[in-house]
Amino acid sequence: MSETTRQLRFEIFRYNPEDADSEPHTDVFELEETPFMTLYIALNQIREKFDPGLQFDFACRSAICGSCAMMVNGRPALACRTLTSDLPDKICLYPLPVFKLIGDLSVDTGTWFRAMVERTEAWIHERLPFDPDATEERMSDDIAAAIYENDRCIECGCCVAACGAANIDSAFLAGAGLNRIARFQMDPRDQRTDADWFEVLASEQGVFACIGMMACEDVCPKELPLLDVYGYLRRKSLATALSSREK
Ligand code: SF4
Ligand code: FES
């Protein structure tokens, strides 16, 4: 073994909620680290060498699909993007909290994101009837770039899992949900007014329910500017509240 080769010790959460005999516990596996090993590679080796029943999710292996997020030494991260060389010899892997557990490291983020999309009606609300012959409206480059920035979210759920408010109330919209609102609130094609948005933003699960831990932006693998999103939505909401008092 070369001087630089490490023996990695993985402590992995195991539980199958569908099996009445299954009890939550951790299993320990040891692997020799290889160059450029990611957690995704390590988990596949563990599954091939030691336990074909180990459950975890992945699809793209390149930080695009958002399905491989898990708790890595207590912090949400993408398994496909995390190099073992950036971690200590002992690596603890747990499923993301807040989301429904499917088994071991696999969680159902889809139900949470679908509920968020339905609650925020995350699609363009165009009040004019569709006219296929109409000339396409122009959008300024700055607004298009700002919308594109928010649209980079891959729905991995890391910001939700890291969020103190979402861990208390899983219906809190959290970074991902509020980011989605900002995206549509900025879009000039969407004709919902600030007063319409106020209903959801000022609700118990809206932007003021954030308890200020600021973990969402820290853990977002796409480095979305979530704190700017919170600032934008709070300023908009306060302006709406003040203007309605003046009327
Ligand atoms: Fe993941 Fe970032 Fe989107 Fe949250 S905002 S779901 S951390 S990509
Ligand atoms: Fe798609 Fe990791 S496998 S983001």
Is the CB of residue 54 below 6 angstroms from any atom belonging to ligand 1? no
Which residues share a beta bridge with 101? 107
pLDDT at 17 over 70: yes
- Residue 89 sits in a domain whose CATH number is 3.10.20.30
Residue nearest to ligand 1 atom 2, measured at CA: 220
- Find all residues with CB under 8 Å of 124, minimum gap 6, and list them: 184, 187, 189, 190
Sign of the CA dihedral with 190 first, then 193, 199, and 203 last: positive
- The stretch 53-72 carries a mean pLDDT of 97
pLDDT of residue 247: 67
Provide the strand spans (E) within 54-195: 69-72, 75-78, 90-94, 100-103, 106-108
Residue 99 lies in a domain: no
Q: How far apart are CA 152 and CA 155, in angstroms?
A: 9
Reported confidence tier of residue 127, pLDDT bands at 50, 70, 90: confident
Residue nearest to ligand 1 atom 6, measured at CA: 155
Same domain for 134 and 233, yes or no, is: yes
Same domain for 49 and 159, yes or no, is: no
- The stretch 104-121 carries a mean pLDDT of 97
Same domain for 162 and 217, yes or no, is: yes
Same domain for 216 and 120, yes or no, is: yes
pLDDT at 129 over 90: no
The size of the chain, in residues, is 247
Same domain for 161 and 77, yes or no, is: no
Sign of the CA dihedral with 62 first, then 59, 102, and 170 last: positive
Domain encompassing residue 142: 108-242
Same domain for 115 and 161, yes or no, is: yes
pLDDT of residue 214: 87
- Find all residues with CB under 8 Å of 130, minimum gap 6, and list them: none
Out of 57, 65, 155, mutate this one to test ligand 2's pocket (max ligand atoms within 8 Å of CB): namely 65
Six-digit token string for 190? 């969407």
Identify which ligand lies nearest to the alpha carbon of 177: 1
Residue 173 lies in a domain: yes
Entry pTM: 0.93
Same domain for 89 and 129, yes or no, is: no
Residue 2 lies in a domain: no
pLDDT at 246 over 80: no
Residue 44 Cα to ligand 1 midpoint, Å, equals: 24
Q: How far apart are CA 149 and CA 225, in angstroms?
A: 9
Residue 103 lies in a domain: no
Number of structural domains in the chain: 2
Same domain for 209 and 166, yes or no, is: yes
Reported confidence tier of residue 131, pLDDT bands at 50, 70, 90: confident
Same domain for 236 and 121, yes or no, is: yes
Which residues share a beta bridge with 94? 71
CA 242 to chain centre: 32
In this structure, how many other beta carbons lie within 10 angstroms of the beta carbon of residue 31? 20
Out of 179, 213, 227, 228, mutate this one to test ligand 1's pocket (max ligand atoms within 8 Å of CB): namely 179
- Residue 186 sits in a domain whose CATH number is 1.10.1060.10
**Domain boundary residue among 59, 94, 129?**
94
Six-digit token string for 242? 């003040």
**Helix pair angle (174-186, 226-246), 10° resolution:** 60
Same domain for 69 and 119, yes or no, is: no
Same domain for 90 and 113, yes or no, is: no
